[in-house]
Amino acid sequence: MKEYSDLQRARNIFKPILPNVLNNAINNITPIIRNEVINTNLNIKKIFPNTYGKPNIHFKNGVNCSIIKKAIKVAVIFSGGQAPGGHNVVAGIFDGLKRANKNNVLIGYLGGASGILHNQYKSIEQKNLSNYRNTGGFNLIYSGRTKIETIEQLSLMKKNFASCNIDALIIIGGDDSNTNAAIIAEYFKKQNSTTCIIGVPKTIDGDLQNKYIEIPFGFDTATKIYSELVGNICIDVCSSRKYWHFIRLMGRSASHITLEVGLQTHPNIILIGEEILAKKMTLSNIVDNIINIIIKRSNLNKNFGIVLVPEGLIEFIPEIRELIANLNDIIDNHVKIIGQLQSIEEKEKFIYSKLSAESYNLIKSLPNNIASQFILDRDPHGNIQVSSIETEKLLITMIEQKLNELSSIGKYHGSFNAISHFFGYEGRCGMPSNFDANYAYALGYNASILVLNGITGYLSSVRHLTRDPALWECGGIPLTNMMTIEKRNGVDKPVIQKTLVNIHANPFLEFFNNKDKWILNEDYISPGPIQYFGSKNITNVITQTLKLKHKK
């Protein structure tokens, strides 16, 4: 039999706080339709003729006439990277459905959308769900990155849904997965099917936020876990006073995680990709800036410090962005020839011979092991796997080289001992904080109400997150309301855009206004581990990002 820790057991029986509007008897929720400004992008209207132009929905207490009375069967999938709180979304859906009608059924397709195509699923029951309540991970039904986009996939999905009598699908995912939810919803509508499709906003990266989504679930817990680790290193460095720690933090593109962890811990240097892009900084500008700080601190007898590096940093450096685009083009256009070349050296030689002069000089200036990462690691679409490039090690190598040069001409007298870290997977499946446990549960419960009302093509929306959870507002936002057209691999595609760090908004400005102080001093904060039980002022702390976003 599987063993559980005492804390896991205590968390399993923790009851998330349900917003009042959802907590009232299920038949007393009325969808209030508010005609807020809808998306005026006519291309979106053209692509989504059946789901475009729908109003935003806000739930209010009242008498609900539209709720479906007959028993329904709902399916759920996890899509993309893990985020703490996923199991609570499922628990929220389950509890909402069962409270409306105990004969309602919930199933989970296994491994994301590919489970739908292969008709692999499991029935979700109170028994198999109870040990997963308030736990991290997506291990109840696993996740995957498959999208259902082609006509063949869509019609196979429809066939599989018909064979299982599925009335609704809830997709728990990030920007791409919710874009996919919009495409699927449009397809079912066009086919005159009554199957409802609802999205739930998830990602530790925090980049699925816009005027309707304050933050996706998972960001709160993941950043608290990384902050605990970074805070511990801050105290270690203060005690030993002999290392520079270069810490890369997850976040495929946007630097929200790095910014949040920086605001929670106050390290000496926080690199924010979006600032680097705005200032059009080159790789050597970044290295020089860090070296200046290392020398300044060394002159104060401080041969130690902490640098935070966002995972997506290199894509914000214009010359590297160009190198990546150049490499992707070459590899795309010569897949067959490259595939036939046996050794890495042959592949490199062939690819390098096709690079522009600037890109060639740049890749040749990189340490060999890092240069190879640009060529070898590809994602399932054949593009460079930017997230696996060890930027923190690249920076350390380049800094070491320059400091040696400076030292040889008597311009640097300190000692530079660097240690690299990558914190990513450590935070994605952590036990959800109270915020994420409550938020994810509310998102799931709310999704069940949308489905019970026969609503399709909407995102489950829970807002006013700085308030007490009981006062959170709930409803739905049409997915098409958040969409725009973006060029992806040269083709115009409808997408829900990722939101990058806004360098004019409060969270970034808070860092910017303090950064000089943090560079030279040890204003470090070690926030400690997430607190699940105890006084509210330590169990219900929200992220700086959310707090500062709401600050006028």
Q: Catalytic site residues?
A: 205
Q: Which of 136, 148, 70, 152 is nearest to 112 (CA)?
A: 148
State in angstroms the smallest separation of the CB of 428 from ligand FBP: 6
Judged by CB under 6 A, the residue of 174, 444, 457, 494 near ligand FBP is 174
Q: Which of residues 330-389 bind ligand FBP (CB under 6 A)?
A: 387
Phi, psi of 280 (to 5 degrees): 50, 45
Task: Give CA–CA dist 292/271, Å, rounded.
Answer: 14
Q: Which is nearer to ligand FBP, 19 or 312 (CB)?
A: 312
Q: Mark the segment that binds ligand FBP (CB under 6 A) among 197-205, 326-334, 409-417, 517-525.
A: 197-205
Q: Which of residues 384-423 bind ligand FBP (CB under 6 A)?
A: 387
- In contact, 131 and 98? CB cutoff 8 Å: no
State in angstroms the smallest separation of the CB of 389 from ligand FBP: 11
Task: Give CA–CA dist 421/309, Å, rounded.
Answer: 10
Task: Give CA–CA dist 465/391, Å, rounded.
Answer: 34
**Residue 273 binds ligand FBP (CB under 6 A):** no
Q: Which is nearer to ligand FBP, 189 or 428 (CB)?
A: 428
Phi, psi of 410 (to 5 degrees): 75, 20
Judged by CB under 6 A, the residue of 44, 204, 234, 254 near ligand FBP is 204
Judged by CB under 6 A, the residue of 114, 153, 178, 203 near ligand FBP is 203
Q: Which is nearer to ligand FBP, 83 or 277 (CB)?
A: 83
- In contact, 449 and 26? CB cutoff 8 Å: yes
The continuous run of DSSP H or E covering 43 comes out as: helix 42-47
Task: Give CA–CA dist 538/6, Å, rounded.
Answer: 20
Q: Which is nearer to ligand FBP, 31 or 173 (CB)?
A: 173
**Which positions from 72 to 101 touch ligand FBP by CB under 6 A, shown as an x/- string?**
--------xx-x------------------
Cβ density class 531-549: b for 16+ within 10 Å, e for less: bbeeeeeeeebbbbbbebb
Q: Name the CA radius of gyration of the chain, rounded.
A: 25
**Residue 252 binds ligand FBP (CB under 6 A):** yes
Q: Which of residues 6-65 bind ligand FBP (CB under 6 A)?
A: none
Q: Mark the segment that binds ligand FBP (CB under 6 A) among 70-78, 201-209, 363-371, 526-534.
A: 201-209
Task: Give CA–CA dist 95/126, Å, rounded.
Answer: 9
β-sheet bridge partners, residue 483:
496
State in angstroms the smallest separation of the CB of 386 from ligand FBP: 8
DSSP string, 144-177: E-----SHHHHHHHHHHHHHHT--EEEEEE-HHH
Judged by CB under 6 A, the residue of 85, 112, 251, 444 near ligand FBP is 251
Give the orientation angle of helix 256-265 with respect to helix 506-520, to 10 degrees.
50
Q: Which of residues 437-476 bind ligand FBP (CB under 6 A)?
A: none
Total residues at interface with ligand FBP (CB under 6 A) = 13
Q: Which is nearer to ligand FBP, 245 or 428 (CB)?
A: 428
**Residue 428 binds ligand FBP (CB under 6 A):** yes
- In contact, 208 and 176? CB cutoff 8 Å: no
**Which positions from 281 to 320 touch ligand FBP by CB under 6 A, shown as an x/- string?**
------------------------------x---------
Q: Which is nearer to ligand FBP, 433 or 526 (CB)?
A: 433
Angle formed at CA 261 by CA 259 and CA 264, multiple of 5 degrees: 110
State in angstroms the smallest separation of the CB of 111 from ligand FBP: 13
Q: Which is nearer to ligand FBP, 202 or 347 (CB)?
A: 202
Q: Which is nearer to ligand FBP, 18 or 431 (CB)?
A: 431
Pairing of strands 168-173, 196-201: parallel
Judged by CB under 6 A, the residue of 205, 274, 275, 522 near ligand FBP is 205
Residue 66, judged by CB atoms within 10 A of its CB (0-12, 13-18, 19+), counts as exposed
- Type of residue at 189: K
Q: Mark the segment that binds ligand FBP (CB under 6 A) among 53-61, 246-254, 439-447, 469-477.
A: 246-254
Chain residues binding ligand FBP by CB under 6 A are 80-81, 83, 174, 203-205, 250-252, 311, 387, 428
